[in-house]
Amino acid sequence: PFTRSVFEREYGKVWAESRWNYSQASKISALFAMIERDVGMVVMRIKEIASKSPRPDTVLLMAAKKLRENGFAAEAGQLLEQVLKNSPDSIAVMNELGKCYPLLNRHSQALSILQKAQEYSSLNCNRLCLIGEVSLNMKDTGSARKAFQQALDIDPFCSEARHGIVLAQNIEEFTVQNYGSSTSIPQNFASLLNAIGITKVRSGDLQGGIEQYRAAMVYL
């Protein structure tokens, strides 16, 4: 339900953006090659390049993803927060922030932004698994189990969701067994998952220990 002129105008915008991105690809790649030496300079130059783009937010989003993947979650988060001010309804930006915040131990903020994105598109299996993972980090096994089950309802073969349910169940059991003995429950998420595996193996439940470590490796 739109005219040919509308289609041609929008197509022209996409084509112009594609050509611009292609023309800048080598320059951006060269910048990221220097990221370990001076991440501040790289971020500043990326912002300068993005300001000349037909769609600056797209460039900044791609740059933030690259920063996170290279271990610069704080810089990535700052870029994404800037983009979100300009595009408050961008699901892609919300998803990426949901991946950055846990790396900065900002789990409650990650959960909030991911749940907001989920309201826009409720059938995103990967995001549901991420919500489950963040909930596990917050020791909220009930919410984690719910998110993983929703993911399985969408995709019964989702291995991340199946492993997540295993972790939620094991954390619940471990917490009950050590209730009242706070020194036995590690606060660090990785340490907690490892402690559960060790406990299962020492108790003779080798298969349960193997299952625990396999599930843990998916989320560590």
10-residue mean pLDDT profile of the chain (220 residues): values are 91 89 87 90 92 89 93 95 92 96 95 95 94 94 96 96 96 85 74 94 95 93
Q: Output the DSSP codes for 64-111.
A: HHHHHHTT-HHHHHHHHHHHHHH-TT-HHHHHHHHHHHHHTT-HHHHH
pLDDT the model gives residue 183: 57
Give the predicted TM-score (pTM) of the model.
Answer: 0.83
- CA angle 117/120/150 to nearest 5° reads 75
H helices then E strands: how many in the chain? Answer: 11, 0
pLDDT the model gives residue 180: 60
pLDDT the model gives residue 203: 94
